[in-house]
């Protein structure tokens, strides 16, 4: 039977008569009042309305992405499949399914993820292992599991599993997150396992995204900065090894430092992306009028879709997409700060940070600010797994945003913070 939790609150608690302890009732006081609570400390589930800012930003990004996927892929699709709308048709199907995932995430209570955390974590690690043996290789990377016409990218499931695990574990440990062996090492080990499996695919970019997300959430939860700096310094020699001792990664680094010297080889995409953005100018060449999409820029509908935006919509369109991501990050952080409980707070932070890092890395690669990495742009790039998981996570953010704490209450750890004054617990009656 579903458990119900009630708090015994005496009506005289607000102003206790002199001479009586705070937790003892004065003689002749009214009987206790049973005030119904949710299991996490919130009062009821009557949430606020839908966050229209967040919802609008997500829908607008998906709309821009769908249009740009068609514009950037029409030429290559006609050449490869004889149908200029091949990628558009698939992206529309993904978008419709994504709207269902968005609705599911927004209308399901985010606390339901607590029960699914460990099965989700185990399943994501199992998928990351399976893809190493049975995955489909595309562009020298074994990152996809194919089931007939359907392909899934396990790293997208891993992103959901990792942020959910971090939120649940950190919420349970409360002030113990400041300890090295309990609050830091276990989370780092789980992340390290995922990163190692991703590097084997190879997918160094996604591995770095997961690592940065983990460290950022740990920092927000109160982990000592010295622990985080130690982890970064310890990882630096490993990263150096994977870059310098891997010829094609070293070439990418050299191409980043001198793209013109490698303009016909590993820096080809970067150079063509910069040409596309430069050709767009202020207002762009117009939808469907981009010349770089005519076979000059590979993956123009995927990892380099922002180059297509810059060419056809210009600086104005490029800025609009960046602003939409800014709105998404702003409302995601707002949802985290106003979350009803600590689990929701950490979960919203983790999701928002993951979106922010992916958008930052993808845009920086297109602009030539960092070496090339195969990171898709959430909600915008072509791809089923990425779009479905991103929209579900967006729905979870909406769910957290529409369930703020009751007036006068804030999300806080279930245990007293170390160093703070311990308050006497109120009587609790649990009915099962």
Query: pLDDT tens for residues 198-218?
Result: 988 888 889 999 999 999 999
Inform me whether the pLDDT recorded for 419 exceeds 80: no
Question: What is the mean pLDDT of the segment spanning 159-165?
Answer: 95
Nearest to 275 by CA among 370, 368, 377, 376: 368
State the sign of the Cα–Cα–Cα–Cα dihedral 290, 295, 301, 305.
Answer: negative
In angstroms, the CA 112 to CA 116 distance is 7
Query: pLDDT tens for residues 224-237?
Result: 999 999 999 988 88
What confidence tier does 405 reach under pLDDT thresholds 50, 70, 90? low
In angstroms, the CA 80 to CA 66 distance is 20
Point out the least confidently predicted range of 33-37, 133-137, 268-272, 330-334: 33-37
Residues facing residue 144 across a β-bridge? 136
What confidence tier does 408 reach under pLDDT thresholds 50, 70, 90? low
Nearest to 374 by CA among 265, 266, 275, 276: 266
Query: pLDDT tens for residues 103-139?
Result: 999 998 888 899 999 999 999 999 999 999 988 887 7
Question: What is the mean pLDDT of the segment spanning 377-381?
Answer: 94
What confidence tier does 161 reach under pLDDT thresholds 50, 70, 90? very high
Point out the least confidently predicted range of 80-89, 255-264, 357-366: 255-264
Residues 6+ apart with CB under 8 A from 419: none
Inform me whether the pLDDT recorded for 5 exceeds 60: no
Inform me whether the pLDDT recorded for 418 exceeds 70: no
Inform me whether the pLDDT recorded for 426 exceeds 50: no
Residue 91's alpha-carbon distances to 67, 95, 255, 388, 426, in angstroms, are 10, 6, 32, 11, 54
Query: Can the peptide bond before residue 202 be classed as cis, meaning omega within 30 degrees of 0?
Result: yes
In angstroms, the CA 91 to CA 382 distance is 7
Residue 58: how many other CB atoms lie within 10 Å: 29
Quick one: 373 exposed, middle or buried, by C-beta within 10 A (0-12, 13-18, 19+)? middle
| Structure tokens, 240 | 């150096």
Contact by Cβ (8 Å): 362, 302: no
Q: Is residue 216 classed as helix, strand or coil in its secondary structure?
A: helix
Q: Is residue 424 classed as helix, strand or coil in its secondary structure?
A: coil
Structure confidence at residue 406 (pLDDT): 61
Query: pLDDT tens for residues 262-280?
Result: 888 888 888 888 899 998 8
Structure confidence at residue 429 (pLDDT): 32
In angstroms, the CA 410 to CA 404 distance is 9
In angstroms, the CA 305 to CA 312 distance is 11
């Amino acid at each position: 039977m579903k458990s119900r939790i009630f708090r015994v609150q005496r009506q005289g608690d607000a102003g206790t008569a002199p001479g009586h302890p705070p937790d003892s009732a004065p003689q002749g006081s009214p009987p206790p009042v049973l005030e119904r609570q949710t299991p996490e400390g919130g009062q009821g589930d009557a949430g606020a309305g839908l966050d229209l800012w967040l919802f609008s930003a997500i829908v607008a990004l998906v709309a821009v992405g769908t249009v740009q996927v068609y514009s950037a892929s029409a030429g290559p699709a006609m050449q490869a499949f004889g149908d200029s709308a091949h990628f558009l048709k698939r992206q529309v199907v993904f978008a419709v399914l994504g709207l269902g995932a968005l609705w599911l995430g927004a209308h399901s209570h985010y606390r339901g993820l607590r029960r699914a955390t460990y099965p989700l974590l185990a399943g994501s690690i199992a998928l990351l292992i399976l893809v190493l043996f049975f995955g489909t290789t595309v562009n020298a990377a074994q990152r996809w599991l194919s089931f007939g016409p359907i392909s899934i990218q396990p790293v997208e499931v891993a992103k959901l599993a990792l942020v959910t695990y971090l939120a649940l574990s950190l919420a349970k440990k409360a002030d113990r997150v400041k300890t090295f062996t309990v609050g830091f090492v276990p989370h780092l080990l789980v992340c390290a396992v995922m990163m190692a499996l991703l590097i084997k695919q190879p997918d160094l970019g996604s591995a770095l995204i997961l690592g940065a997300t983990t460290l950022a959430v740990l920092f927000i939860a109160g982990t000592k900065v010295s622990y985080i700096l130690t982890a970064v310094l310890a990882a630096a020699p490993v990263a150096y090894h994977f870059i310098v001792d891997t010829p094609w990664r070293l070439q990418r680094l050299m191409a980043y430092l001198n793209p013109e010297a490698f303009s016909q080889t590993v820096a080809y995409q970067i150079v063509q992306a910069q040409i596309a953005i430069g050709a767009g100018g202020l207002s762009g060449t117009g939808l469907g009028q981009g010349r770089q999409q005519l076979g000059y820029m590979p993956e123009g509908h995927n990892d380099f879709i922002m180059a297509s935006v810059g060419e056809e919509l210009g600086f104005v369109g490029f800025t609009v997409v960046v602003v939409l991501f800014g709105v998404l990050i702003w409302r995601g952080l707002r949802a985290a700060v106003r979350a009803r409980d600590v689990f929701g707070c950490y979960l919203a932070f983790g999701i928002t940070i993951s979106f922010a890092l992916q958008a930052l890395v993808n845009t920086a690669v297109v602009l030539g600010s960092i070496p090339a990495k195969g990171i898709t742009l959430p909600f915008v790039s072509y791809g089923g797994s990425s779009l479905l998981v991103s929209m579900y996570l967006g729905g979870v953010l909406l769910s957290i945003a529409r369930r703020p704490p009751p007036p006068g209450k804030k999300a806080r750890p279930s245990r007293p913070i170390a160093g703070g004054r311990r308050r006497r617990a109120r009587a609790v009656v649990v009915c099962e």
